[in-house]
Amino acid sequence: MGAADLFPLGAATTLAELAGDPYPRLALLRTHEPVSWLPELDGWLVTRRDLALSVMRDAATFTVDDPRFSTAQVVGPSMLSLDGDQHTRHREAFAAPFRPREVHNGFASFIERETDRLITALEPVGVGELRRAFAGPLAVAVVTQALGLVDTPAATVLSWYDSIVRSVSDITAGHEAGPAGIAAYRHLRAAVEATVADQSHSSLLVSAARRLALPEVASNAAVLMFGGIETTEGMITNALLQLLRHPDQLALVRADLALLDGAIEESLRLEPGAAVVDRYATRDTVLGPAAIRRGDLVSVSLTGANRDPAVFRDPDRFDVRRENARLQLAFAHGAHYCLAAHLARLETRIALQRLLELLPALRLDPDRPTTAHGLVFRKPSTLHALWDGAA
Ligand code: HEM
């Protein structure tokens, strides 16, 4: 029997469907084929939460370290593409500023300043597209600050990022990477070297360079940039969209801002910025109903796991008071758990709180509806909102 006979739902699943509204299909897969072979993906898709955890916990069997991994093809090996001792060595060199207390002490006032600066510019107009005019610029500013590159403004970081993303997407789509991404990465590497050479400067990169070789520092800097811009822009935009779409839940949060943390977890659960994480089997193994072969791609659907009714009652409902929302897996799990999850949460919390405080009657523009989409990175293309501005 072929895989299509064993996994008929997987055989009928298209990537276009997963990139659009994937939730009805993911629910079917989770119930009937919780590990399914998707011919269009040329790999397995894991949609049940317990099985998703099994994969992410077992890096010896399900590794990220594979030549097919597109990011590593552009920026070289980094913590994101290594496992075992090498992974630990790379990750530990960057870990210190991302611990909870360090994040608070190191970033809170910077994020507050940037957030207020962006909102002050928007406020008088009374309307705006908050993904590109707010969430995106804030994400870029925070990553630029975290990297601490000397003489490198946020706009430059953004242009490098755009070029590297394009190259990674080319490779993911099966094409050769264009030259712009390689050139951008060369510029980033030169900026990393200049930062490390500047002895008057103390930064994350300088301390990482005490433990890693310079090319290794540069690869991880690119991963921080890569990991920190797209996903955080999505995290802020998605959380805002969820809140504005559910006026009853928004009213609860406005009445008690302590509920904002629950709203953010609930948004991460329902629409995680990164929908899947990819692993490669290092040996033949059995996972749920699937006989996985060495070398197979095993894609873990964080979106699928996050709506598993075995853990989350009434899983499609946005409920800012849900008690176990923190069991969501938007930041993955295990060795590769997002290095900057505390920072991303702090950033989103400050961003949303200040928007609610400073833009009275913030609401969606009813004439410009929007919804999240994307196969890997999920967010709406635009988020047009209205508020009562001074102009
Ligand atoms: C300041 C913002 C962020 C930075 C600097 C950042 C950085 C990183 C880094 C360096 C890793 C690799 C960790 C490792 O492999 O050991 C990582 C992993 C990850 N991050 Fe983040 N991240 C940020 C925000 C986010 C957000 C907002 C999300 C989603 C909502 C996210 C989702 C993930 C996921 C799913 C992984 C695991 C990848 C895998 O297992 O293959 N990150 N992040």
Contact (CB, 8 A) for 46 and 34: yes
Contact (CB, 8 A) for 32 and 8: no
Residue 390 confidence (pLDDT) above 70: no
pLDDT averaged over every residue in the chain: 94
Residue 353 CA to residue 204 CA, distance in Å, equals 28
Query: Is 35 inside any structural domain?
Result: yes
Find out whether the beta carbon of 274 lies less than 6 Å from any atom of ligand 1: yes
Give the distance (Å) from ligand 1 centre to CA of residue 2.
36
Nearest CA to ligand 1 atom 26: 231
Query: Is 124 inside any structural domain?
Result: yes
Find out whether the beta carbon of 344 lies less than 6 Å from any atom of ligand 1: yes
Find out whether the beta carbon of 231 lies less than 6 Å from any atom of ligand 1: yes
Residue 231 confidence (pLDDT) above 80: yes
Mean pLDDT of 202-220: 93
Residue 391 confidence (pLDDT) above 70: no
Residue 3 confidence (pLDDT) above 80: no
**Residue 1: per-residue pLDDT:** 65
334: domain CATH number is: 1.10.630.10
Residue 53 confidence (pLDDT) above 80: yes
Residue 204 confidence class, pLDDT cut points 50, 70, 90: very high
pLDDT tens digits, residue range 165-199? Answer: 788 777 777 777 778 888 888 999 999 999 998 87
Query: Is 79 inside any structural domain?
Result: yes
pLDDT tens digits, residue range 349-376? Answer: 999 999 999 998 999 999 999 999 998 8
pLDDT tens digits, residue range 261-309? Answer: 999 999 999 999 999 999 999 999 999 999 999 999 999 999 999 999 9
pLDDT tens digits, residue range 62-117? Answer: 999 999 887 788 788 999 999 999 999 999 999 999 999 999 999 999 999 999 99
Nearest CA to ligand 1 atom 43: 338
Best residue among 64, 89, 231 to mutate for probing ligand 1, ranked by most atoms within 8 Å of CB: 231
Residue 5 confidence class, pLDDT cut points 50, 70, 90: confident
Q: Supply the pTM of this predicted model.
A: 0.95
Residue 360 CA to residue 124 CA, distance in Å, equals 11
Give the distance (Å) from ligand 1 centre to CA of residue 342.
11
* Nearest atom (ligand 1) to Cα of 332: 35
Which residue range is the domain that position 367 belongs to?
3-386
Query: What is the ipTM metric for this complex?
Result: 0.96
Find out whether the beta carbon of 279 lies less than 6 Å from any atom of ligand 1: no
Query: Is 128 inside any structural domain?
Result: yes
pLDDT tens digits, residue range 140-164? Answer: 999 999 998 888 888 898 888 888 8
Query: Is 106 inside any structural domain?
Result: yes
Find out whether the beta carbon of 260 lies less than 6 Å from any atom of ligand 1: no
Rg (CA), the chain: 21
Residue 109 CA to residue 303 CA, distance in Å, equals 32
Burial category of 139 from C-beta neighbours within 10 Å (exposed 0-12, middle 13-18, buried 19 and up): buried
Query: Is 391 inside any structural domain?
Result: no
* Nearest atom (ligand 1) to Cα of 333: 40
The one-letter amino acid at 158: L
Find out whether the beta carbon of 343 lies less than 6 Å from any atom of ligand 1: yes
Find out whether the beta carbon of 272 lies less than 6 Å from any atom of ligand 1: yes
Contact (CB, 8 A) for 134 and 154: no
Contact (CB, 8 A) for 239 and 352: yes
Residue 250 confidence (pLDDT) above 70: yes
**Residue 321: per-residue pLDDT:** 98
Query: Is 107 inside any structural domain?
Result: yes
- Strand order of the sheet with strand 127-129? 127-129, 384-386, 363-364
Query: Is 366 inside any structural domain?
Result: yes
- How many structural domains does the chain have? 1
Q: Which has more confidence, 180 or 328?
A: 328
**Residue 107: per-residue pLDDT:** 96
